[in-house]
Structure 1
Amino acid sequence: MFLWLVVVLMVSGSVSSNEYKLHWVVPPANASTSLNDWASTQRFQVGDTIRFKYKKDSVMQVTKEGYMQCNSSHPRFYSNTGKTRFMFDHSVPYYFMSGTSGHCEKGQKMIVEVMNHDRTSTSSAPPAAMAVWFCFLSFTLYIL
């Protein structure tokens, strides 16, 4: 039992959060990439944070519908401090847009897909979770 507890603590302690930094600006009109292109190359997980850095602007978390229509009337989250830190606490898509009039329509919006820590591998279970399961199974068989 003690060995299994040690393995569980080691695995849970190895899960760490990341902080991503983003210059939150209106993309240039001739830009070949978007903020969504950047977000899609990252592996955001529950517990990670993103720091939006901007001047004379704002960042809002909105619903999918608000995002699609660039509608800023009912944000779930709003900040205009210039250095906004947002932590992902659920494994869902997050929709962000600028609250400054016209910026969303010019492409200052982004979807962030957030995964659970246990979905970091393409297999059905990540290696660490499999190690815990193997130790638990071995211990259970040992005591039987």
Structure 2
Amino acid sequence: MASLLNGVCSVLLFIALFTCFQSGNLLSMEFQVGEDNGWAVPSSKDRHYYNEWAAKNRFKVNDTIRFKYKKDSVLAVSEDEYSQCHSAHPIFFSNNGDTVYTLDRPGSFYFISGVAEHCQRGLKMITKVLELEMLPPPQNGTITSPHKNGAPDLAAVSSSNFAMVIVLSLFGVLMV
């Protein structure tokens, strides 16, 4: 009976610790740029569509953003190149139609279309990645998710955080 109680306690401790890590925003998330619109030239009245979309989201280090597009490209560039809608030497370039970019540091990231006319018509975006301390707390104790079904990307839990949960769970078993 004692071993069953120890097992139940360790499972409950594991779940509690894992939940704490989730609510602490330690999961990486993937965001679909432009949601259902994808990465496409916005209408003339929505020239700021992508910056408005980015401003509505809270990005943190190691989140990813996915660009889906047809016959175009996406470039990560400097602030000056963003302003000019041109880059001879982009930080990053992709034209495969389904580009995933990892936001690997806090600060601003600048993206433009590789087609100059598209960029000038509004196909560009500034993404601001917040420091962990700057992230707002989850609303009502829940995690918001960009996934259609609302589920966080559990595969994105960093191995060091997951290892810490395991170690603390084992410690809890030894203490019971």
1:74 aligns to 2:73 (yes or no) = no
Match of 1:93 in 2: 108
List 4+ stretches of structure 1 deviating above 2 A.
Answer: 9-14, 30-33
Gaps (5+ residues) in structure 2? Answer: 1-16, 138-176
Gaps (5+ residues) in structure 1? Answer: 1-8, 123-144
Amino acid at match of 1:39: A
Considering Cα pairs closer than 8 Å and 6+ residues apart, tell me whether 1 or 2 has the greater RCO. 2
SS, match of residue 85 in structure 1:
strand
Looking at structure 1, the residues matched to 90 and 112 of structure 2 have their Cα atoms a distance apart, in angstroms, of 9
**Structure number having the greater strand percentage:** 1
Which of 30, 33, 52 is the matching residue for 1:19? 30
SS, match of residue 52 in structure 2:
helix
Looking at structure 2, the residues matched to 11 and 47 of structure 1 have their Cα atoms a distance apart, in angstroms, of 19
Looking at structure 1, the residues matched to 49 and 136 of structure 2 have their Cα atoms a distance apart, in angstroms, of 26
SS, match of residue 104 in structure 1:
helix
Q: How many residues align?
A: 115
**Structure number having the greater helix percentage:** 2
TM-score by length of 2: 0.60
TM-score by length of 1: 0.73
Q: How does 1:11-90 map to 2 (within 5 A)?
A: 13-14=21-22, 15-22=26-33, 23-31=38-46, 33-90=48-105
SS, match of residue 30 in structure 1:
helix
Q: Percent identity?
A: 42
Looking at structure 2, the residues matched to 31 and 119 of structure 1 have their Cα atoms a distance apart, in angstroms, of 29
Q: Greater shift after overlay, 32-41 or 98-107?
A: 32-41
**Aligned-residue CA RMSD in angstroms?**
2.1
Looking at structure 2, the residues matched to 32 and 99 of structure 1 have their Cα atoms a distance apart, in angstroms, of 17
**CA displacement 1:84-133 (0-9 Å, x = unmatched):** 000101001000000013111000000000012222138xxxxxxxxxxx
Match of 1:114 in 2: 129
